[in-house]
Structure 1
Amino acid sequence: MSFTLEQENRERDLAFKDALHGKNHTAKHGFTALLNKDKNAQDAAVTEYFKYWDNKRPENETEVDKKERLDEYATLTKHYYNLVTDFYEYGWGSSFHFSRFYKGESFQRSIARHEHYLALKMGLSAGMKVLDVGCGVGGPAREICRFTDCNITGLNNNDYQVDRANHYAAVNGLADKLNFVKGDFMQMQFDEASFDAVYAIEATVHAPSFEGVYGQIYRVLKPGGTFGVYEWVMTDAYDETNPQHREICYGIEIGDGIAKMYKADVAEAALRKVGFEIVHSDDLADKNDEVPWYAPLTGEWKYVRSLGDLLTFCRVSWLGRQVTMKGVGLLEKVGIAPKGSQKVSIALEEAAINLVLGAKLGLFTPMMLYVAKKPL
């Protein structure tokens, strides 16, 4: 019975993906793909996602509201990425994560170095069988595959992103090393002890509980294997009873498709509870870097040091986001962009503002690094 229901859900998701993006969706990306979405399907996705947030704010949300988001994390996350993937590819590229910056370092180089660093700390090497949990459109998997020559399976609950990831792997000549599949990281279909290593880059924050997703990762990892994660967490400075703190956290949640943000100690406790031995932990956002990780979001000209930085600034800074938001609104008004596109861009703007504010106040980090071992 459960298998039949699962098959029905998969067929429904595939049909919705085709309705929203069209069957030739890999031929377009970024802003072009955004404008070519089916208007009725987009409207349905907007309704499905924002039903968790409309007419709610931190001061009036109830425990029922919070529980609903946690219970329906899979639907919430799936529709979030139905709405924002094209925005992300347009503004950020194919690796949906933050990174540290060295002075004079380009945006794309810093993104790649952040991925290399995780692979290095985990000890990934040629021939290893590796799982990427919450793989997005496969940007990190492609980079880590090239860097280490390992074989990577990517897991994702969004059909559109899975298709794009497999398409990019083929285009880049990596289809023999990379494979991306649809699945729920809280209910993985892989056999026990299937992988030599597992990593997650800013993805397991979408889980309703760290213990649940870490437990699944522990199960599919071979004894002696390594799990590495860049985790989104609130820091010890975060106080949920402080209205300003909760407002910042809520802005991050609504703009980034997160059912609930947790503090770092919750993540660490969950790792230990499911059986992991933590061999390395480090908040890479807390290094007093001259160029902070959130620099691309700030709109501060002092961080523009190259032509590449200028192009990034024009897309993702406050000024660039305002241009995109107003432009999308105008295109939506004249019927070119699908309905709800500006509402999505406004939510992304709220996320960006609160990510920067949370970082400046020391309340949030997107790169709490844990490297953990499954005992032999």
Structure 2
Amino acid sequence: MSKSGVLDFASGLGGNIDKNEVLSAVDQYEKYHVFYGGEEEERKAHYSDMVNKFYDLVTSFYEFGWGESFHFAPRWKGESLRESIKRHEHFLALQLGLKPGQKVLDVGCGIGGPQREISKFSSTSVTGLNINEYQISRGKELNRIAGVEKTCNFVKADFMKMPFPDNSFDAVYAIEATCHAPDAYGCYKEIHRVLKPGQCFAAYEWCLTDSFDPNNQEHQKLKAEIEIGDGLPDIRLTGECLEALKQAGFEVIWEKDLAVDSPVPWYLPFDPSHFSLSSFHLTTVGRFITRNMLISADFFVSSRPGICGTCPKGKSTCPKFSRAG
């Protein structure tokens, strides 16, 4: 977990949602999805509300269990989860050809883990675009702790309607974020608009491979589980994403399913049969201990006003590398 500690984590549960309204928010979020009678068109029509509820509910848990970068990564044998995530972000920066002093846009930036890592690695200024107020406030605090306020900042906005002039950025990237968009073409078109001509956009994305069979009930079940588990309105086929990029004005110069050649499965941290000290909290026993620890922490924070983190005195990936035409 980040430096703020478990008390700050406990105080942040629920993001901007009042503690008494968390169960209601969970119920409303679940109703968007297939398992609870939800429809794809409903998720797309209300994607902003769905995604906001999702990240208000899960952000603190993500940070506690995953760190400051909310994404997966291909992984080498002997490499830790944190090391693989950092290498994944460095690889993206190198593929973009980032140079010191450039202005870069992180589309759907979360709490800014990749933003901070890529900015420091490439000596660039990175603007994080995010629709979720709680994640932005958390990201600003982490930027302050890391001492990167001069090179990393946040803008609260919808990536379907970006508040930037045309040709504003030297590079743009998105890490498992534009999959939240209700319309891939509309999102990519906005990215193309704010990117300077001839410059590059790179993305890691949740995609369906050609092995997906829409008539296979097990495939449909897995798809629905990923959608509810990641706040997605839909998961598009890789080919659909590539076609949307071309229609938006990009030339696709490189794409690959990185999960295919990964020596260590990307889903290993969720495998209950796999044990390591770094992933202990993700096992059945670890989750039980974590849950009870957080109940205790929540009681401690609630019963000791003035010391919680909000007190002023006291928080399969598929890459597509694209060039604007």
TM tier, shorter chain?
A: 0.7 to 0.9
Q: Which structure has more helix as a fraction of its residues?
A: 1
Compared CA separation, residues 243 and 143, structure 1 to 2 (3 A):
same
CA distance in 1, matches of 2:165, 2:285: 48
CA distance in 1, matches of 2:224, 2:130: 24
CA distance in 1, matches of 2:284, 2:232: 22
CA distance in 1, matches of 2:227, 2:67: 21
Tell me the amino acid that sits aligned with residue 34 of structure 1. L
Alpha-carbon offset, residue 336 of structure 1: 5.2
Tell me the amino acid that sits aligned with residue 23 of structure 2. D
> The residue matched to 1:101 in structure 2 has which SS?
coil
Compared CA separation, residues 35 and 178, structure 1 to 2 (3 A):
closer
Residue deviations 1:185-233, cap 9 Å, x none? Answer: 1111111111110000011111112111111100110101110000110
Residue deviations 1:97-151, cap 9 Å, x none? Answer: 0112112112211110010000011111211100000000000000001100100
> The residue matched to 1:371 in structure 2 has which SS?
strand
Are the aligned partners of 2:14 and 2:57 in contact in 1 as well (CA < 8 Å)? no
**Two-structure CA RMSD over aligned residues (Å):** 2.5
Spell out the pairing of 1:38-53 with structure 2 (5 A cutoff).
Answer: 38-53=18-33
CA distance in 1, matches of 2:5, 2:248: 39
Compared CA separation, residues 324 and 266, structure 1 to 2 (3 A):
farther
Are the aligned partners of 1:298 and 1:318 in contact in 2 as well (CA < 8 Å)? no
CA distance in 2, matches of 1:235, 1:323: 37
1:107 pairs with 75, 81, 84, which one? Answer: 81
CA distance in 2, matches of 1:119, 1:317: 33
CA distance in 2, matches of 1:182, 1:221: 18
1:371 aligns with 2:314: no
CA distance in 2, matches of 1:310, 1:31: 22
Alpha-carbon offset, residue 319 of structure 1: 4.8
Compared CA separation, residues 191 and 217, structure 1 to 2 (3 A):
same
> The residue matched to 1:57 in structure 2 has which SS?
helix
Spell out the pairing of 1:64-75 with structure 2 (5 A cutoff).
Answer: 65-75=39-49
CA distance in 1, matches of 2:60, 2:76: 28
Are the aligned partners of 2:109 and 2:115 in contact in 1 as well (CA < 8 Å)? yes
Spell out the pairing of 1:162-311 with structure 2 (5 A cutoff).
Answer: 162-287=136-261, 289-301=262-274, 304=275, 309-311=276-278
**Partner in structure 2 of residue 10 of structure 1:** none
Are the aligned partners of 2:14 and 2:58 in contact in 1 as well (CA < 8 Å)? no
Tell me the amino acid that sits aligned with residue 269 of structure 1. E
CA distance in 2, matches of 1:189, 1:26: 34
Tell me the amino acid that sits aligned with residue 22 of structure 2. Q
Compared CA separation, residues 79 and 315, structure 1 to 2 (3 A):
same
Tell me the amino acid that sits aligned with residue 120 of structure 1. L
Spell out the pairing of 1:27-46 with structure 2 (5 A cutoff).
Answer: 29-31=8-10, 33-34=12-13, 38-46=18-26
Are the aligned partners of 1:271 and 1:278 in contact in 2 as well (CA < 8 Å)? yes
> The residue matched to 1:234 in structure 2 has which SS?
coil
Identity percentage of aligned residues: 43
**Partner in structure 2 of residue 316 of structure 1:** 282
Alpha-carbon offset, residue 48 of structure 1: 3.1
Are the aligned partners of 1:26 and 1:164 in contact in 2 as well (CA < 8 Å)? no
CA distance in 2, matches of 1:72, 1:155: 19
1:80 pairs with 50, 54, 57, which one? Answer: 54
> The residue matched to 2:256 in structure 1 has which SS?
strand
Alpha-carbon offset, residue 51 of structure 1: 2.8
Residue deviations 1:161-191, cap 9 Å, x none? Answer: 0111111111111000001111001111111
CA distance in 2, matches of 1:44, 1:32: 19
CA distance in 1, matches of 2:6, 2:151: 22
Tell me the amino acid that sits aligned with residue 12 of structure 2. A
**Partner in structure 2 of residue 89 of structure 1:** 63
Tell me the amino acid that sits aligned with residue 53 of structure 2. H
Alpha-carbon offset, residue 259 of structure 1: 0.8
Compared CA separation, residues 73 and 35, structure 1 to 2 (3 A):
closer
Are the aligned partners of 1:45 and 1:82 in contact in 2 as well (CA < 8 Å)? no
**Partner in structure 1 of residue 133 of structure 2:** 159
Give the alignment's TM-score, normalised by structure 2.
Answer: 0.87
Give the alignment's TM-score, normalised by structure 1.
Answer: 0.76
What is the total number of aligned residue pairs between the two structures? 305
Compared CA separation, residues 29 and 199, structure 1 to 2 (3 A):
farther
Tell me the amino acid that sits aligned with residue 324 of structure 2. K
CA distance in 2, matches of 1:238, 1:162: 35
Residue deviations 1:236-267, cap 9 Å, x none? Answer: 00012211100000011111111111110110
1:128 pairs with 102, 106, 128, which one? Answer: 102
Alpha-carbon offset, residue 26 of structure 1: 11
Are the aligned partners of 2:185 and 2:244 in contact in 1 as well (CA < 8 Å)? yes
